[in-house]
Amino acid sequence: MSKKCVLILNLAVVLVLLASATACASPTPQAEQAPIEIAQQKLILATTTSTQDSGLLDYLLPDFENQTNTKVEVIAVGSGQALKLGEDGNADVLLVHSPAKEEEFMQNGHGVRREDVMYNDFIILGPKNDPAGIMGMSSAADAFKKIAETQSQFISRGDDSGTHTKEKSIWQKAGLEPAGDWYNSTGQGMGEVLTIAEEKQAYTLSDRATYLARLKSGLKLDLLVEGDKTLFNPYGVIAVNPAKNDKINNNLANTFIDWLISLPVQEKIAQFGMADFNQSLFVPDSAAWQQANP
C-alpha cells in the first residue's frame, strides 16, 4: 500500500473517532415534555335569584373556582325550584332562603348537610307617590292590608321562591287572599319583578340586596316599609344526598360548604356592598363567624 493511501486511511480513522467522541460528549437533547393538565372539576350550584341578581356570586365564586380548579355551574331560580332540583338529584349543592322548606327538605332525607351562611331582610317597595299610604309603617301585614284595601297595583313573584313564600306568609298574617286586577303574579325572578314594578309604578316585596344592587342601575322605586321582624331573611347551604344520583359530587359539595362558611369568606361577605352603599348587602352568619364575633 502506498504512503498516500495509508495517510488517507489514517485520516479517515481519526475523523470517525472525533465524530464518535463528539456524539458522546453532546447527546441529542430530548424534547421538553408538555405539562400534565389536571381535569377541571364541575360543581352544580342551584340557588336563589337574589344571590345572582345582587352580584354576590360574581364576587365570591371566582376565588373558589381558582383555589379548587372547579367550574361552578350556577342555576339561579326561586328557592322552591332550587330545592326541587336537589330533590330530583340535579344539583350538587343548594344556596337558598326558605327556612321552613329547607327543614322539610332535610327531614325527608333529600339533603345530608345544612349550614347557616348569612342573612339580610325583606323590604316593601313602591312608587314615590305611595297611593296606599304605607310609607313608614312598622307592620308588613298592615301595609299589605292597605295595599289590598286601596287595590293599589302589586307585583308578586309567584314562583314558589323564598321571597314568594315570605309574601304569602304576610298575606296570611294579614288575613287576606289577594286577588283581582290589582294583584299581578308574574312567575319571574327578583330582578324582573323589580323592572315590572317600576314600569307599572306598583308595590312589591324584595330582598334588600337585590334592591340595593338595582339602585345602581337607576331603579326608581322607594323603600317604604322595613324593620318588621317577620321580614328576616336567612340563607342556608345544603349538600344534596348523593344517593339521589351517582353523578352528584358530594366531596366537592362539602368542600364548597366548608369554604363558604369559613371565616375568610364570611369576612368577604361582610364587605360586599360596603364600598357602594356603606352597608353590607348580606350579614355573615356561619358558626365560624358567630364564634369569632360573639
pTM: 0.82
Do 110 and 250 share a domain, yes or no? Answer: yes
Q: How far apart are CA 35 and CA 195, in angstroms?
A: 49
Do 171 and 251 share a domain, yes or no? Answer: no
Residue 3: inside a domain: no
Q: What pLDDT, on the 0 to 100 scale, is given for residue 180? A: 96
Mean pLDDT of 182-209: 96
Q: What is the rounded average pLDDT for all residues in the chain?
A: 90
Domain final residue, candidates 195, 214, 231: 231
39 confidence band (pLDDT: 50, 70, 90): confident
Do 80 and 211 share a domain, yes or no? Answer: no
Q: Residue 132 in contact with residue 203, Cβ under 8 Å? A: yes
216 confidence band (pLDDT: 50, 70, 90): confident
Q: For the chain, how many structural domains are there in total?
A: 2
- pLDDT tens sequence across 165-187: 999 999 999 999 999 999 999 99
Tell me the three state secondary structure of residue 249. Answer: coil
Q: Residues 236, 237, 239, CA angle at the centre, nearest 5°?
A: 140
Mean pLDDT of 228-253: 97
Nearest to 46 by CA among 19, 83, 2: 83
Residue 24: inside a domain: no
Do 112 and 153 share a domain, yes or no? Answer: no
Asked if the model's pLDDT at residue 9 lies above 50, the reply is no
Do 239 and 108 share a domain, yes or no? Answer: yes
Domain final residue, candidates 184, 214, 231: 231
Do 116 and 154 share a domain, yes or no? Answer: no
Q: What amino acid is encoded at 108 in this protein? A: N
Q: How far apart are CA 292 and CA 84, in angstroms?
A: 34
Do 112 and 255 share a domain, yes or no? Answer: yes
Do 223 and 88 share a domain, yes or no? Answer: no
Q: What pLDDT, on the 0 to 100 scale, is given for residue 73? A: 98
Residue 29: inside a domain: no
Asked if the model's pLDDT at residue 15 lies above 60, the reply is no
Mean pLDDT of 129-146: 98
CATH at residue 153: 3.40.190.10
- pLDDT tens sequence across 85-94: 999 999 999 9
12 confidence band (pLDDT: 50, 70, 90): very low
24 confidence band (pLDDT: 50, 70, 90): very low
Domain final residue, candidates 231, 248, 265: 231
Q: How far apart are CA 95 and CA 92, in angstroms?
A: 11
Mean pLDDT of 182-197: 96
Residue 105: inside a domain: yes
Residue 154: inside a domain: yes
Q: What amino acid is encoded at 209 in this protein? A: A
- pLDDT tens sequence across 96-116: 999 999 999 999 999 999 999
Residue 142: inside a domain: yes
Do 116 and 245 share a domain, yes or no? Answer: yes
Task: With both helix axes pointing from N to C terminus, report the angle between 263-271 and 56-68 in degrees, rounded to the nearest 10.
Answer: 150
Hey, what's the cell of 233?
331573611
Other CB atoms within 10 Å distance of the CB of residue 204: 26
Do 190 and 109 share a domain, yes or no? Answer: no
Do 193 and 136 share a domain, yes or no? Answer: yes
> What residues make up the domain containing 134?
122-231
Residue 5: inside a domain: no
Do 90 and 147 share a domain, yes or no? Answer: no
Q: Residue 92 in contact with residue 240, Cβ under 8 Å? A: yes
Residue 11: inside a domain: no
Rg, Å, the chain Cα set: 31
